[in-house]
Structure 1
Amino acid sequence: MYHTWMRYFTPSPLHHRLGLVCLGVGLQHGSLPTVGPRTLDHHVAVVISAGSGWYRTPDGRRTTVTAPALIWLTPGVPHHYGPDPAAGWDESFVDFTGPATTTYTELGYIEPDRPVVPLSDAAGARTAVGKIARAARRGNPLLEVETGAAVHELLVALRRARADLGPDGDPVLTALARDAFRPMSVAEHAARHGMTPAELRTAVRRGAGCSPKDYLLGIRLGRAKELLAATDLPVAAVARRVGYEDPAYFSRLFTRRVGLAPVRFREQQGRAVPGGWSTRVPDPEHPPTIGARPT
């Protein structure tokens, strides 16, 4: 015995231009029928939140699937899977497509080479799937945009829930972020973590989808923008605070990546108010209000 609920959508060409669209959503549990062998022309994320079963690769190898887990179905790749016939499993699935899938794959959020991914927790993914299910009500004028936005949330939730990552993310990335403002080379960062530069590049590429240099640069420039927008520090002082001893080099790097010189960015974004800068992350349930004391 099994139970299933599903909805399918046909987004317009205009909605496809948003980059990511949802094609369908389903919630199922019990001794579900075996799926495949079959091949699809789009992506599907199958989230197993309870129970166990199996997945068979195109070359015939059988892999055990134990909840919580994710099964990736990718375009053009044959797949064949199903739950344990005795106990079944709890499954939710989301079909999606769009040019943004290429970028998510390059960033490591979608993993075609790893069709079965153990998860530490399926709650975040189920929340995103729930948003799609609620948006799927008949006659919802925001259907395509709401469901597409929720697919982005789903991909982030699945990336965060990977069992090979700690609760705070990849420890290598966490350590790099902590040391991002030190004037250190990539080789020095690697040595600090007992790795070769090649090992560090592989780890950062796997975790963040970019090189260590680009990962550090993103953190440094983000902090530089904050300092330019919210303080009156000279550009040279900003450069030193984010790890660049040569302010001219920092200015060239900032201009090339941001598209504006640091001084020009400050002119556009500057909001310097004495005593008004806070480093505390706002609580979404209690956002800043008029009369609140700065911290």
Structure 2
Amino acid sequence: MFHTWMRYFTPDPLHHRLGLVCLGVGLQHGTLPPVGPRTLDHHVAVVISAGQGWCTTPDGHRHPVTAPALLWLTPGVAHHYGADPVTGWDESFVDFTGPATETYTELGYIEPDRPLVPLTDPGPPRAAVGRIARAARRGNPLLEVETSAAVHELLVVLRRARADTDARGEPVLQALARDAFLPLSVAEHAARHGMTPAELRTAVRRGAGCSPKDYLLGIRLGRAKELLAGTELPVAAVARRVGYDDPAYFSRLFARRVGTAPVRFRDRQAHSVPGGWSTRIPDPDDPPLVSG
């Protein structure tokens, strides 16, 4: 016994120029029949939010699937999967295509080589699919544009929900962000999390679409910008706070990556951040006001 709802669309060439277009969306649950073996010419994100089942990877191996999980179906790659015939599962899916899929793949948001991805929380991805389903109502004049924007959002939500963890089960990116300002090498960061440097590089590439070095550097420079814009700390003190004992090296690195020296960056921000910098997230119902 199973229940299913789905809709499919055919966006015109103009909408494809938005980068991503939604080709279909569906919500299903129960003892669904197996899918495949088959091959498609577009991408599909299948979110399993409850239950269990199986999937067969391109190498022919059959793997158990336990919710929450994501199944990536990529163009030209055969796939075969199904819910447990006794317990079933809850599934939501989005079919999509467009030129932006290549960029999202390069950034690590779409992983052709990782068809089965564990998730930490199925709620946000399922909610994102639900927004696409609501936009897919019949007669919606903004259907193609609204669903296109929602597919972009879905890819961000899916990357955020990945369950890349270290040897202790702690989310890798969260742990790295916490330790980003410690004077540690990538190998030392890996050792702290019970991983080899290669394992750490793979986890960070999957979760952030970049190397551990670039991920840590982005966090450090982001914090340095906040300190330069919102405090009067000397550049040397800012450097130490973000993990650099050599202020000259920090200044060269900052200038190379940001495009301007720390002192010049501070001077420009002083004229564009009225009242200084705050780390408090504004209340949407009571936003801060800037007086002239």
What is the CA distance between 1:153 and its match in structure 2? 2.8
Deviates more, 1:126-135 or 1:31-40: 31-40
Alpha carbons of 1:19 and 1:165: their partners in 2 closer, same or farther (altered >3 Å)?
A: farther
Secondary structure at the aligned position of 1:289 is classed as: coil
- Determine the structure 2 residue equivalent to 1:53: 53
Identity %: 83
In the alignment, the residues of structure 1 paired with residue 99 and residue 256 of structure 2 have an alpha-carbon distance, to the nearest angstrom, of 26
Contact 1:46 1:94 in 2 (8 A): yes
- Determine the structure 2 residue equivalent to 1:280: 280
Alpha carbons of 1:30 and 1:172: their partners in 2 closer, same or farther (altered >3 Å)?
A: closer
In the alignment, the residues of structure 1 paired with residue 160 and residue 200 of structure 2 have an alpha-carbon distance, to the nearest angstrom, of 20
Is 2:68 the counterpart of 1:29? Answer: no
In the alignment, the residues of structure 2 paired with residue 163 and residue 244 of structure 1 have an alpha-carbon distance, to the nearest angstrom, of 31
In the alignment, the residues of structure 2 paired with residue 89 and residue 195 of structure 1 have an alpha-carbon distance, to the nearest angstrom, of 33
Alpha carbons of 1:141 and 1:227: their partners in 2 closer, same or farther (altered >3 Å)?
A: farther
- Structure 2 unmatched runs, 5+: none
In the alignment, the residues of structure 1 paired with residue 231 and residue 98 of structure 2 have an alpha-carbon distance, to the nearest angstrom, of 41
Contact 1:106 1:209 in 2 (8 A): yes
**Residue identity matched to 1:281:** I
**Residue identity matched to 2:101:** T
Alpha carbons of 1:80 and 1:179: their partners in 2 closer, same or farther (altered >3 Å)?
A: closer
In the alignment, the residues of structure 2 paired with residue 264 and residue 11 of structure 1 have an alpha-carbon distance, to the nearest angstrom, of 47
In the alignment, the residues of structure 1 paired with residue 257 and residue 56 of structure 2 have an alpha-carbon distance, to the nearest angstrom, of 45
Secondary structure at the aligned position of 1:109 is classed as: coil
- Determine the structure 2 residue equivalent to 1:119: 119
- Determine the structure 1 residue equivalent to 2:237: 237
In the alignment, the residues of structure 1 paired with residue 81 and residue 62 of structure 2 have an alpha-carbon distance, to the nearest angstrom, of 9
In the alignment, the residues of structure 1 paired with residue 85 and residue 193 of structure 2 have an alpha-carbon distance, to the nearest angstrom, of 46
In the alignment, the residues of structure 2 paired with residue 5 and residue 210 of structure 1 have an alpha-carbon distance, to the nearest angstrom, of 37
Secondary structure at the aligned position of 1:55 is classed as: strand
In the alignment, the residues of structure 1 paired with residue 118 and residue 187 of structure 2 have an alpha-carbon distance, to the nearest angstrom, of 32
Alpha carbons of 1:234 and 1:68: their partners in 2 closer, same or farther (altered >3 Å)?
A: closer
- Determine the structure 1 residue equivalent to 2:96: 96
**Residue identity matched to 2:66:** T
In the alignment, the residues of structure 1 paired with residue 203 and residue 87 of structure 2 have an alpha-carbon distance, to the nearest angstrom, of 38
**Residue identity matched to 2:182:** R
What is the CA distance between 1:100 and its match in structure 2? 3.5
Alpha carbons of 1:208 and 1:58: their partners in 2 closer, same or farther (altered >3 Å)?
A: closer
Secondary structure at the aligned position of 1:112 is classed as: coil
Contact 2:182 2:243 in 1 (8 A): yes
Secondary structure at the aligned position of 2:260 is classed as: coil
TM-score by length of 1: 0.80
Contact 1:230 1:273 in 2 (8 A): no
Provide, for residues 96-155 of structure 1, a one-character-per-residue CA deviation record: whole Å limited to 9, x for no partner: 123433343344433333323343432211100011011112343433333223223323
Alpha carbons of 1:201 and 1:86: their partners in 2 closer, same or farther (altered >3 Å)?
A: closer
Is 2:15 the counterpart of 1:5? Answer: no
- Structure 1 unmatched runs, 5+: none
For 1:133-152, list aligned pairs within 5 A. 133-152=133-152
- Determine the structure 1 residue equivalent to 2:43: 43
In the alignment, the residues of structure 1 paired with residue 141 and residue 86 of structure 2 have an alpha-carbon distance, to the nearest angstrom, of 42
- Determine the structure 1 residue equivalent to 2:205: 205
Alpha carbons of 1:200 and 1:163: their partners in 2 closer, same or farther (altered >3 Å)?
A: closer
What is the CA distance between 1:26 and its match in structure 2? 1.1
Alpha carbons of 1:170 and 1:19: their partners in 2 closer, same or farther (altered >3 Å)?
A: farther
**Residue identity matched to 1:289:** P
In the alignment, the residues of structure 2 paired with residue 111 and residue 250 of structure 1 have an alpha-carbon distance, to the nearest angstrom, of 34
In the alignment, the residues of structure 2 paired with residue 197 and residue 91 of structure 1 have an alpha-carbon distance, to the nearest angstrom, of 35
Deviates more, 1:194-203 or 1:27-36: 194-203
In the alignment, the residues of structure 2 paired with residue 251 and residue 243 of structure 1 have an alpha-carbon distance, to the nearest angstrom, of 13
TM-score by length of 2: 0.80
Alpha carbons of 1:142 and 1:278: their partners in 2 closer, same or farther (altered >3 Å)?
A: same
Contact 1:53 1:64 in 2 (8 A): yes
Contact 2:56 2:63 in 1 (8 A): yes
**Residue identity matched to 1:39:** T
Contact 1:7 1:24 in 2 (8 A): yes
What is the CA distance between 1:222 and its match in structure 2? 0.7
**Residue identity matched to 2:155:** L
- Determine the structure 2 residue equivalent to 1:289: 288
In the alignment, the residues of structure 1 paired with residue 185 and residue 87 of structure 2 have an alpha-carbon distance, to the nearest angstrom, of 54
**Residue identity matched to 2:28:** Q
